[in-house]
Structure 1
Amino acid sequence: MKEILLVCNEGMSTGFLCNKMNELAKKQGLAIHAWAIPESALEGRYHEADVIMVGPQIGYLLDSIRTRTQGTVPVAAIRPVDFGRVNALAVIEHALSLIS
């Protein structure tokens, strides 16, 4: 099971996307689990993830998040168009492409 962590300001805007990602994964038999947290909770949780996807509204924090996670997990921004359209498949594919 691959763990995809979505991070945003409060963990709420990404929560809806997580639900869609998990619904899609279940329907398609994908071994992934998506979950969302606020950026402020990152230190205590990032080690549980295989990849971290950052909401576009805090994309300016990408370098900071990479530094805080010390390169232990891939970190990337969710593409604004995928986020806006709640394109769960595109976000899953992007996340999985980052996991080695």
Structure 2
Amino acid sequence: MKKILLVCAAGMSTSLLVNKMLDHAKDIGEEIEIFALPVSECGTVADQVDIVLLGPQVRYQKKQVESIVRKDIPVEVIDMREYGTMNGKAVLERALKLL
């Protein structure tokens, strides 16, 4: 099972995106674990995920997050428009493409 971590500032809006991503995963028959954590907590699970997606509001912390996760784990900033519109389908499809 693939695991996707969304990293954000506080987790409110990102939790909505997680739900939309999970809905799309269900629609396409993918078993994926997706969860959101603030940057301050991402180190606790960084080595247990397959990809880390950063909310646009914490894009400036990308290098910090990359230094926490293993080198083979992709770290990418979520497109601002897709994040703003809560386009869970597009965000999940991008994550799957990176994997």
TM-score normalised by length of structure 1: 0.91
Q: CA deviation at 1:55?
A: 0.2
Identity of aligned residues (%): 38
Q: Which amino acid aligns with 1:16?
A: L
- Range moving further from structure 2, 55-64 or 70-79: 70-79
Q: Provide the residue aligned with 2:43 in structure 1.
A: 43
Q: Name the residue aligned to 2:92.
A: 92
Give the AA of the match of 1:71.
K
Q: Secondary structure at the match of 2:45?
A: helix
Alignment partners' CA distance in 2, 1:77 and 1:2:
18
Match of 1:31, as an amino acid? E
The count of corresponding residues between Structure 1 and Structure 2 is: 99
Secondary structure of the structure 2 residue equivalent to 1:33: strand
**What is residue 68 of structure 1 aligned with on the other side?**
68
Q: Could you list the runs of 5+ residues in structure 1 that have no partner in the other structure? A: none
Moved over 4 A (4+): none
Q: SS at 1:3's partner residue?
A: strand
When normalised by structure 2's length, the TM-score is: 0.92
- TM-align CA RMSD: 1.2
Distance 1:97 1:24 in 2: 15
Unaligned runs of 5+ in 2: none
The range that moved more, 23-32 or 37-46, is 23-32
